[in-house]
Amino acid sequence: MGAGTEDLAVADRLLGAAVKIVDVSDLMKGFDFDPGHLSVATYIRLLADKLAVFVSYDRLVYVDTDVIFNRSITDLADVELNVPLLAAHDEQTYFDPSCRESLEMEPGSSHFNAGILVLNMPMIRAEGLLERARELALRRVPKLDQGALNIAFAGRWQTMHPLWNLQTNHSSQIPFNRAFARHFTFGKPWWPRPEGVELAAMAIYRDLAKDTPWLDRFSRPLWMRGLRKRLLRKFDGLSGIILNKEKYRRRFRFNAERCTVIFAAQADQRMMAATYPEVLMGVVKTRK
């Protein structure tokens, strides 16, 4: 599963004792998870309470591989947390009017992105939340591991500062240089067409890869850096009217600056995830 022998050898040469690689392949074989369009490795985060290497830790930070940090990860790990989970709103999920129905979640429920998480392990173990998430995943709930986690942790997560999980958004986006952590949820820096990856971010990847076999992956054109999608999103308002698509109307109303201010204030106050966040964001006028 995952990295091959050659990749691991390079990682060991560059990182040495700074990183410990744990083989979870045998543990994963005990679960019939559906990888969908991804790899079964996406479910590793659901096993945090079953890995012996983590037993002595009260707090864990989970990070997807398509994330780069502009600030020390220890600052995120040290955030005051009195509930099981710290996570960032998955703002683009709220563009979809049926985002809760597909997961059978309560009206107004918040939805988080599972790419960057801070886990309060004593509470998670006591409440059996990851065990519940695994059960849901094995039942094939929609949206793979992220869907299972959102159902299991519904009403039990605290708002993460949005700059700790700044996701690619072609409708409206905060610049890379302001991100605490940049999450490339569209094009990946190593893809042939790294759509949406900023020049400054790609330069960091090239520098990190200069003594590895992977440098050429970060020397590709940026495919207009998402220009095509950003241009198309400019017509979302008109498309929403002509096609009667609520999703397009919501995307058109989205303003990243406004949403960042709102969710940052809630994070600073250590607030639980708000209900009906799409109303707070201004993409929906009234609760439905």
Tell me: the pLDDT tens digits for 79-104?
999 999 999 999 999 999 998 998 98
CA Rg, the chain, in Å?
19
Which tens digits make up the pLDDT trace of 224-283?
555 666 666 566 667 666 777 898 899 899 999 999 999 999 999 999 999 999 999 999
Q: How confident is the model at residue 286 (pLDDT cuts 50, 70, 90)?
A: confident
The CB density around residue 180, as the number of other CB atoms within 10 Å, is: 19
Q: What are the residue ranges spanned by the domains of the chain?
A: 5-161+276-281, 167-253
Average pLDDT rounded to a whole number, residues 177-189: 94
- Predicted confidence at residue 226, as pLDDT, reads 59
Distance CA 222, CA 220 (A): 6
Average pLDDT rounded to a whole number, residues 200-211: 93
- Predicted confidence at residue 83, as pLDDT, reads 98
Average pLDDT rounded to a whole number, residues 189-214: 91
Place of tokens 């709102």: 262
Query: What kind of architecture, by CATH, is found in domain 5-161+276-281?
Result: Alpha-Beta Complex (3.90)
- Predicted confidence at residue 228, as pLDDT, reads 62
Which tens digits make up the pLDDT trace of 10-62?
888 888 888 888 889 899 999 999 988 889 999 999 999 999 999 999 999 99
- Predicted confidence at residue 128, as pLDDT, reads 98
Which tens digits make up the pLDDT trace of 187-197?
899 998 888 88
pLDDT at 223 over 90: no
Stronger pLDDT, 148 or 8, i.e. the higher one: 148
- Predicted confidence at residue 126, as pLDDT, reads 98
Distance CA 151, CA 112 (A): 10
In the predicted model, what is the mean pLDDT of the chain? Answer: 90
Of the candidates 95, 43, 85, the one whose C-alpha atom is nearest the C-alpha of residue 64 is 43
Of the candidates 150, 168, 261, 268, the one whose C-alpha atom is nearest the C-alpha of residue 281 is 261
pLDDT at 1 over 90: no
- Predicted confidence at residue 164, as pLDDT, reads 98
Spatial neighbors of 122 by CB under 8 A, at least 6 apart, are: 58
Q: How confident is the model at residue 133 (pLDDT cuts 50, 70, 90)?
A: very high
pLDDT at 5 over 70: yes
Residue 104 zone, left/alpha/beta (φ > 0; ψ -120 to 50; rest): left
pLDDT at 220 over 80: no
Structure tokens at 72: 């020390």
Contact yes or no for 34/140 (Cβ under 8 A): yes
- Predicted confidence at residue 7, as pLDDT, reads 85
Place of tokens 């700074």: 18
